[in-house]
Amino acid sequence: MDVVRKEPHHGWIEVITGSMFSGKSEELIRRLRRAQIARQKVQIFKPPVDDRFSEDHIVSHSDMRIPSQTVKNSDELLENVGDETEVVGIDEGQFFDANLPAACNRLADRGKRVIVAGLDQDYLGRPFEPMPQLLAIAEYITKTLAICVVCGDPANHTQRLVASSDRVLVGATGLYEARCRHCFDPELAGAEKV
Ligand code: ADP
Ligand code: ZN
């Protein structure tokens, strides 16, 4: 009996995750630029909380940039993705709501290549929702590492340099630095000694 194959579908989810300064935005921009060079229809989104450098661009710490659209939540993101769009890029995934994984699933099911960059841990080293849920459903995961500014080892942590219990405290140089597991010190960020 002949095997009846379904038409291939093209949708899937890629996640780029790691600490601050690990090159997530650079890698996201690199992938999106390559898609644009290949004349694929690309749409790029970010949440409003990250307006440190620009409201209408994704900007890396090394000043690579690409135009983006700001959406306030994952529902608004879904509403803004056009039918002809082939690639959807999303930066700062950790600042989206809990529906982001479901929204990415919907887009991938509609045949879109969805690429999400975001922090995997917060300033205390706790998994940063909704990134863990997104990692669970993604087809491809890239973990990026920075360089520990204290010892030079691969850095998996974002060290907050000021004491604050706010999970979201937006800023970069002077507020945060990359550190390895040995040099990471949550107490410096105001965590209770355990
Ligand atoms: P992320 O999106 O993960 O925060 P970016 O892509 O915005 O990272 O920035 C990565 C760039 O940050 C590097 O190419 C480098 O120029 C710069 N950088 C600053 N501090 C560090 C560090 N400790 N380790 C690695 N890169 C760093
Ligand atoms: Zn270190």
- What is the per-residue pLDDT for 53? 65
In a domain, 61, yes or no: yes
- Check if the beta carbon of residue 149 is closer than 8 Å to that of residue 21: no
* pTM of the predicted protein model: 0.93
CATH of the domain at 131: 3.40.50.300
Atom of ligand 1 nearest to the CA of 177: 23
Whether the bond between 47 and the residue before it is cis, its omega within 30 degrees of 0, is no
For residue 192, indicate whether it is catalytic.
no
**R_g of the chain computed on alpha carbons:** 18
Question: Minimum-distance ligand to the CA of 177?
Answer: 1
Q: What is the pLDDT of residues 66-125, one digit of tens each?
A: 999 999 999 999 999 999 999 999 999 999 999 999 999 999 999 999 999 999 999 999
In a domain, 49, yes or no: yes
In the numeric block, which tokens belong to residue 29? 């921009």
Percent of the chain with pLDDT over 70: 93
| Ligand 1 neighbour 17 (Cβ under 6 A) | no
Residue 23 belongs to what domain range?
12-144
Q: How far apart are CA 56 and CA 66, in angstroms?
A: 9
In a domain, 62, yes or no: yes
Q: What is the pLDDT of residues 112-161, one digit of tens each?
A: 999 999 999 999 999 999 999 999 999 999 999 999 999 999 999 999 99
| Ligand 1 neighbour 26 (Cβ under 6 A) | yes
3-state secondary structure of 184: coil
Q: Answer positive or negative: Cα dihedral of 58, 52, 102, 16.
A: positive
Q: Is 172 a residue whose pLDDT tops 90?
A: no
What average pLDDT does range 37-65 have in this prediction? 88
- Check if the beta carbon of residue 29 is closer than 8 Å to that of residue 58: yes
Report DSSP state, residue 173.
B
Ligand 1 center–CA 21 separation, angstroms: 3
Question: Minimum-distance ligand to the CA of 60?
Answer: 1
In a domain, 155, yes or no: no
Q: How far apart are CA 117 and CA 25, in angstroms?
A: 7
Query: CA geometry: angle at 139 spanning 4 and 5, to 5°?
Result: 5
Query: CA geometry: angle at 180 spanning 174 and 184, to 5°?
Result: 60
In a domain, 158, yes or no: no
- Count structural domains, the chain: 1
What average pLDDT does range 162-167 have in this prediction? 84
In a domain, 166, yes or no: no
- Check if the beta carbon of residue 31 is closer than 8 Å to that of residue 152: no
In a domain, 189, yes or no: no
Q: Whose CA is nearest to atom 27 of ligand 1?
A: 21
- In terms of Cβ atoms closer than 10 Å to its own Cβ (0-12, 13-18, 19+), residue 67 is exposed
- Check if the beta carbon of residue 15 is closer than 8 Å to that of residue 131: yes
In a domain, 72, yes or no: yes
